[in-house]
Amino acid sequence: MLTNIWDTVLYGPLLNALAFLVSIVPGGDVGIAVIILTLVVKTVLFPLSQKSIESQIKMNLLAPELKKIKDSGASKEEQAKQTFELYKHHKTNPFSGCLLVLIQIPIIFALYYVFMKGIDIESGLLYSFIKAPEHINMVFLGILDISQKGLLVLALLAGISQYFQALLMPKPAIIDKPTGSFQENFTKSMQTQMKYVFPFVVAFIAYSVSGAVALYWITSNIFAIGQQIYANKKRKLALGVVDKGQSFGKLS
């Protein structure tokens, strides 16, 4: 049952999209098809991922106000009430970002799985109106055989792009008097690992899998970098509004 749902809703459509792109891309270059399909899927998911980023930004902007409520000495019930009113006033849902991310995960995983398995014409999942590619060229731009593993250039690009993506991620709002609490230390540790450790992990994984998957990872990271730059510009505008003592309201 689950396999049928997976093939019908996620894997099948993406596999057919990849087969279609390979059939129309000059020379049947799978690398170019991988880039195009990744950009198409990321563009479709853009509204969801953008809302997730904006939700995170809003929560960062509200951090000082949340700390004031926590340090006010009010009862738990009163703190909960004030927190709810704060979220309501700024039209923010602390769980919306996580929900939007969870919605995207199956789609992103299915896309990764398509690139990992390649164009499986024998699977019987190609639609009747999708013509199987006559020529499948795994040598990207005539330079890199993306069917192979251990492509150092792509692994390095995957790690570097991951670093810049982490570098541009929104930082928590700076609180005048850090408490040194477990939560603050944990957040700082996670930020450091995402910026300096995770890129090496990504590079290692990209080196261990096929070049097609590594190329997908690079394209996805570059798209995310552009999206984060766009979101950060909105964040600066929102911060400017907050500095003037106004409500930042909607970021969109």
Between 13-17, 19-23, 56-60, 98-102, the lowest mean confidence (pLDDT) is in 98-102
The predicted structure's pLDDT at residue 80: 82
Question: Rounded to the nearest 5°, which phi and psi values hold at 139?
Answer: -95, 100
Asked if 31 and 212 touch (Cβ cutoff 8 Å), the reply is yes
Residue labelled with tokens 């995960």: 105
Burial of 206 (0-12, 13-18, 19+ CB in 10 A): buried
Crossing angle of helices 30-44 and 96-117, in 10° steps, is: 160
Residue 58 CB neighbour total at 10 angstroms: 24
Asked if 101 and 52 touch (Cβ cutoff 8 Å), the reply is yes
pLDDT digits (tens, 9 = 90+) for 63-122: 778 778 877 777 788 878 888 887 777 777 776 666 666 777 788 888 888 888 777 776
Name the β-bridge partners of 137. 29
Structure tokens at 34: 């991988």
Provide CB contacts within 8 A for 217, sequence distance 6+.
158, 161, 162, 202, 205, 206
Percent share of the chain, pLDDT over 90: 25
Global pTM reads: 0.76
User: pLDDT: is 133 or 169 the higher one?
Assistant: 133
Residue labelled with tokens 């995207």: 104
Structure tokens at 150: 């251990």
Q: Is the pLDDT of residue 173 over 70?
A: no
